[in-house]
Amino acid sequence: MPLILITNDDGITAGGIRELVSIALKYGEVLVVAPDSPQSAQGHAITIESPLFVRESSVFGEGVKAYECSGTPVDCVKIAKSVLLDGRVPDICVSGINHGSNAAVNILYSGTMSAAMEASLEGVPSVGFSFLDYRADADFSVCRPYVERIIEHVLENGMEEGNLYNVNIPNLPAEQIKGIKICRQADARWVEEYRAGEDPRGRPYYWLSGNFVNNDEREDADANALQAGYVSLVPSQHDLTNYASLARLQGMEGEFATAGGGTIANTGVAGKQRLEQF
């Protein structure tokens, strides 16, 4: 039977991971390793200055091996690989189902996606699932057919040219979701605002808020596909190289390689003009 590693960032008692475990049990043996408390927006943080505590959990009932970890979502994947799996390699890692969107730039902040990415770094085909409903009582059952379809596809076919999918599901009634669209990451970001206040002891504080700004008009951008009623699937990766500028910069390597603390003046007029483009 396939071995399925499950994790999340909302904590081991969250409704989304309960739905994910229920789905995964149809396809194989399940191992759950999840944070013992909510760890949203932890990104790829790891714990290095304090010990990790791991306790077996019965929250999913008999037949499901589950552990709660005192660390971050990435810690959960690392401790699973290094300790709990005892040398076994999962056939797939699934993370989520997250409360709220991890589309566009959210992937960089997301503990859900960072946990999936950590497993993908180890060569494990990995999928992060997110549902665009922030309510504590969100009904994750609308996600079920899409989660099933993607898990089945990965178990049957693996992943070509990479091993990480970022899947977001719109907050719509089941009959209004149009299907799955294969997307690119939208060129969109958060414009932050810090709201100032004062606590009861007179100490000033700042509370992060902001607005999500999407200037990407492409239909296959994940944020736009979600807005149009589709489940978005973005093939993702941990390689952050900007390949669009790589070739241009490689052609200028000689201008950077000035010996003995050379300056921009050593490159000549043409080289100086090109460097000033930055």
Binding-site residues for a divalent metal cation, in ranges, read 9-10, 40, 98
**151: which 2 tokens?**
């898990």
Please, what is the Cα angle at 263 between 261 and 265, to 5 degrees?
A: 150
46 and 71 in contact (C-beta within 8 Å)?
Answer: yes
Binding residues: 9-10, 40, 98
> Who's near 177: CB < 8 A, 6+ residues apart?
142, 146, 169, 170, 229, 230, 231
117 and 126 in contact (C-beta within 8 Å)?
Answer: yes
Distance CA 99, CA 238 (A): 23
Distance CA 212, CA 31 (A): 35
Distance CA 273, CA 250 (A): 16
* Parallel/antiparallel/unpaired status of strands 29-35 and 92-99: unpaired
